[in-house]
Amino acid sequence: MLRVYGTSASGNCHKVRMALEALARPYTWTEIDILRGTTRTPEFLAMNPNGKVPVLEIEPGTYLAESNAILWYLAEGTPLLPSEPLQRARVLQWLFFEQYSHEPYIAVARFLRKLHPDPASQRALADSKMSGGYRALEVMEGHLAHTPFFVGERYSIADIALYAYTHAAGDGGFELERFPAVRAWLDRVQAQPGCTPMSA
Amino acid sequence: MLRVYGTSASGNCHKVRMALEALARPYTWTEIDILRGTTRTPEFLAMNPNGKVPVLEIEPGTYLAESNAILWYLAEGTPLLPSEPLQRARVLQWLFFEQYSHEPYIAVARFLRKLHPDPASQRALADSKMSGGYRALEVMEGHLAHTPFFVGERYSIADIALYAYTHAAGDGGFELERFPAVRAWLDRVQAQPGCTPMSA
């Protein structure tokens, strides 16, 4: 059976849970406490030398890292990933947008303000993430003004990847009220099978 | 014909050139001067609302952004991308590693030290990128100690993506002498068809 080594409060890990639930794939979840350095132990680094969650154990001894690579692997051949080449490339475009232009601002601001052991000490750093995060939300707003989902007018792993930290952006101090198309899209994603908000 | 809107001094753009040359695909290159704000004009934002190079024009009016999504699109069905599902997922794992754990340190340090109009003013920021960059190089070194190329012992777009800024890491102040397996891999990549170092 598939096993996820993940942290429930991490959006990157939550993506994997959402895909598995949407596909009704059986899996086991092993909770990893990133604040206690569990991802830096020799055992963890043997699974992912880059020391990050999530890690998917496909079979004993076979591991796959990087949340969006895991999403792609799980979604291949299912309705969560289109079959047409350009649409598939557009899914990837949004997955890379998420990891480069969205997560480093919106996820990091949330971590510093909500999950860090001493948020007050991190305020200046968290504040420095706001303009980049708002730029990402503006790009999403412009796109979602014209389409119900990110690619091909159908729910896909592009939506799962971007939902993960967008629905929790308020934790990082972002005002989603300014983005009506993003909010309507969040509602549409939340109506999909297997979609749940993060627990933390 | 395919057209690339790119900046020759950008590794992200250089990846696309390397893939096109390796595949012997005809293309036109339109040089974009990122330092003059060309990526923020209405014309450019109509191609890529995220305002970044490279952009691939697939046909008039059809654009694809994000360097690694472009690599995937070009490589599908060619020897640059494996056909086996787990190997394909591993290619993606390295592409996401490159954009999240490598490029933001190694490419940014290079930009600040070599391409910024006033590098002296950026020294502290560039210095702050070194430890993350060395962590990425250590992950690569550990992997390449056991395999000639990143995935499936064959040259793929994972190698192209990681070559782009690794071969120029010295520009950012990184000492590649400490990574013999990485250096041997750079030599192997440089022996591949279409591989050229960046011009700037």
A99 CB within 8 Å of a chain B CB: yes
**Nearest CB to B50; choose among A50, A72, A101:** A101
Q: Band of the pLDDT at B200, cuts 50, 70, 90?
A: low
A55, β-bridge pairs: A5, A65
Name, in order, each residue with C-beta under 8 angstroms of B108's C-beta and a sequence gap of 6 or more.
Answer: B126, B129, B172
Domain layout of chain B by residue ranges: 2-75, 85-190
Strand order in the sheet with B55-59: B27-31, B2-6, B55-59, B62-65
**Contact criterion met (CB < 8 Å) for A93 and B142:** no
Q: What is the pLDDT of residue A199?
A: 72
Single-letter code of the amino acid located at B132: G
B181 CB within 8 Å of a chain A CB: no
**Nearest CB to A64; choose among B67, B73, B93:** B93
CA distance A180 to B48: 21
**Nearest CB to B99; choose among A49, A73, A96:** A96
pLDDT cut 70: percent of chain A above it: 100
Please compute, for residue B198, the number of CA atoms within 13 A of its CA located in the half-sphere on the CB side: 25
According to CATH, the superfamily of the domain at A2-75 is Glutaredoxin (3.40.30.10)
Domains A2-75 and A85-190 share a fold: no
Q: Which of residues 41-70 of A touch B (CB under 8 A)?
A: 49-50, 52, 58, 62, 64-70
Q: Band of the pLDDT at A200, cuts 50, 70, 90?
A: low
A139 CB within 8 Å of a chain B CB: yes
Of A127, A118, A84, A94, give the one whose Cα is nearest residue A15. A94
**Contact criterion met (CB < 8 Å) for A90 and B70:** no
Q: What is the DSSP letter of A191?
A: T
Give the mean model confidence (pLDDT) for residues B155-175.
Answer: 98
What is the complex's ipTM, to 2 decimals? Answer: 0.98
Q: Is the pLDDT of residue A94 over 90?
A: yes
What pLDDT digit, counting tens, does each position of A115-134 carry? 999 999 999 999 999 999 99
Q: Which residue of A has its CA nearest to B59?
A: A86
Q: What is the pLDDT of residue B85?
A: 97
CB atoms under 10 Å from CB of B121, counted, come to 10
Q: What is the pLDDT of residue B199?
A: 72
Domain B85-190 CATH (choose: 1.10.10.10, 1.20.1050.10, 3.65.10.10, 3.90.550.10): 1.20.1050.10
Q: Which residue of A has its CA nearest to B65?
A: A93
Å between A84 CA and nearest CA of chain B: 11
